[in-house]
Structure 1
Amino acid sequence: MMLIVAACSFILWIVLFFFHGRFWRRGPILYSIPKTTLESIKEKWPDVYVIIPARDEAETIEKVTNSLLHQDYMGQYRVLVVDDGSSDNTGGIIRNYRQTLSLEDQERLDVIETSTRPTGWSGKLWGLSTGVDYIKQRYSTENAFFFFTDADIDHELSHLSTLVYKAQKDQLDQVSEMVQLRCENIYEKACIPAFVYFFCMLYPFPCVNKKSSKVAAGAGGTVLIRSKMLNKIGGVASLKSALIDDVTLATLVKKHGGNIYLGHSSLASSLRPYDELSDIWNMITRTAYVQLRYSVPFLLLTIALMSFMWFVPLIQIFTAQGLAHKLAVVAYCISICSFIPTLSRFRLSFLWIFALPFIALFYLLATIGSAVNYYRGKGMMWKGRAYTAPAIGDGKKELHLHLPDMVSSDNIQQANIQRDSE
Structure 2
Amino acid sequence: MTGVAALAWLYLLLAHGGFWRTSVLLPKASRQPQRWPAVVAVVPARDEADILAETLPTLLRQDYPGPYRVVLVDDASTDGTAEVALAVGTGRLDIVRSEGPPAGWAGKVAAMETGVRAATDGEYLLFTDADIAHPPDGVRSLVAAALGDDRALVSQMALLRTETVWERLIVPAFVYFFSLLYPFARVNDRRSRLGAAAGGCMLVRQEALEAAGGLAAIKDALIDDVAFGRLLKDAGNRTWLGLTTSITSRRPYPRLADLWNMVARSAYTQLRTSPLLLVGCVLGLALIFVVPPLAVIIGPTDVRLLGLLAWAVMAGMYVPMLRFYRLPWLLAPVLPVVAVLYTAMTVDSARRHWMGRGGAWKGRTAKTCQ
TM-score (norm 2): 0.97
Could you say which residue in structure 1 is the equivalent of 2:47?
56
Q: How do residues 84-233 of structure 1 correspond to structure 2 at under 5 angstroms?
A: 84-98=75-89, 105-106=90-91, 108-136=92-120, 139=121, 141=122, 144-233=123-212
Could you say which residue in structure 2 is the equivalent of 1:412?
none
Cα deviation, residue 23, structure 1: 0.7
Could you say which residue in structure 1 is the equivalent of 2:38?
47
- Cα distance in 2 for partners of 1:189, 1:42 equals 39
Native 8 Å contact 1:174 1:261 kept in 2: yes
Q: Does 1:23 align with 2:14?
A: no
RMSD, matched Cα: 1.5
Cα 1:317–1:64, aligned 2, differ >3 Å: closer, same or farther?
same
- Cα distance in 1 for partners of 2:101, 2:342 equals 33
Identity %: 37
Cα deviation, residue 74, structure 1: 1.2
Partner AA of 2:97 in structure 1: E
1:325 to 295, 304, 310: 304
1:9 to 5, 8, 11: 5
- Cα distance in 2 for partners of 1:319, 1:172 equals 51
Aligned residues: 370
Q: How do residues 255-334 of structure 1 correspond to structure 2 at under 5 angstroms?
A: 255-334=234-313
- Cα distance in 2 for partners of 1:186, 1:224 equals 33
Native 8 Å contact 1:29 1:266 kept in 2: no
Could you say which residue in structure 1 is the equivalent of 2:358?
379
Could you say which residue in structure 2 is the equivalent of 1:102?
none
Stretch moving more, 211-220 or 372-381: 372-381
Partner AA of 2:71 in structure 1: L
Cα 1:234–1:162, aligned 2, differ >3 Å: closer, same or farther?
same
Partner AA of 2:145 in structure 1: K
Paired residue secondary structure (2:293): helix
Cα deviation, residue 42, structure 1: 5.5
Q: Does 1:239 align with 2:234?
A: no
Paired residue secondary structure (1:178): strand
Cα deviation, residue 134, structure 1: 1.6
Paired residue secondary structure (1:347): coil
Q: Does 1:83 align with 2:74?
A: yes
Partner AA of 1:81 in structure 2: L
Partner AA of 1:113 in structure 2: R
- Cα distance in 2 for partners of 1:27, 1:180 equals 14
- Cα distance in 2 for partners of 1:131, 1:153 equals 17
Native 8 Å contact 1:120 1:398 kept in 2: no
Could you say which residue in structure 2 is the equivalent of 1:419?
none
Cα deviation, residue 112, structure 1: 1.3
- Cα distance in 1 for partners of 2:173, 2:313 equals 16
- Cα distance in 2 for partners of 1:211, 1:231 equals 20
For 1:153-185, what per-residue CA distance to the aligned partner results, in whole angstroms no more than 9, with x for missing partners?
A: 001101111111110111100001110000001
Q: Determine which structure has more spread, i.e. the larger CA radius of gyration.
A: 1
Q: Which runs of 4+ in 1 moved over 6 A?
A: none
Stretch moving more, 21-30 or 185-194: 21-30
Paired residue secondary structure (2:18): coil
Q: How do residues 315-394 of structure 1 correspond to structure 2 at under 5 angstroms?
A: 315-387=294-366
Could you say which residue in structure 1 is the equivalent of 2:56?
65
Paired residue secondary structure (2:194): coil
Structure 2: where are the runs of 5+ without partners? none
Native 8 Å contact 2:100 2:107 kept in 1: no
TM-score (norm 1): 0.85
Partner AA of 1:29 in structure 2: L
Partner AA of 1:157 in structure 2: P
Paired residue secondary structure (2:110): helix
For 1:43-86, what per-residue CA distance to the aligned partner results, in whole angstroms no more than 9, with x for missing partners?
A: 11111011111000001113322111111111111111110010
Cα deviation, residue 320, structure 1: 2.1
Native 8 Å contact 2:195 2:234 kept in 1: no
Partner AA of 2:48 in structure 1: E
Cα 1:171–1:298, aligned 2, differ >3 Å: closer, same or farther?
same
Native 8 Å contact 1:30 1:266 kept in 2: no
Structure 1: where are the runs of 5+ without partners? 99-104, 388-396, 401-422
Native 8 Å contact 1:336 1:356 kept in 2: yes
Cα deviation, residue 318, structure 1: 2.2
Stretch moving more, 187-196 or 40-49: 40-49
Cα deviation, residue 210, structure 1: 0.4
Paired residue secondary structure (1:385): coil
Native 8 Å contact 1:244 1:291 kept in 2: yes
Could you say which residue in structure 2 is the equivalent of 1:391?
none
- Cα distance in 2 for partners of 1:377, 1:53 equals 25
Partner AA of 2:83 in structure 1: G
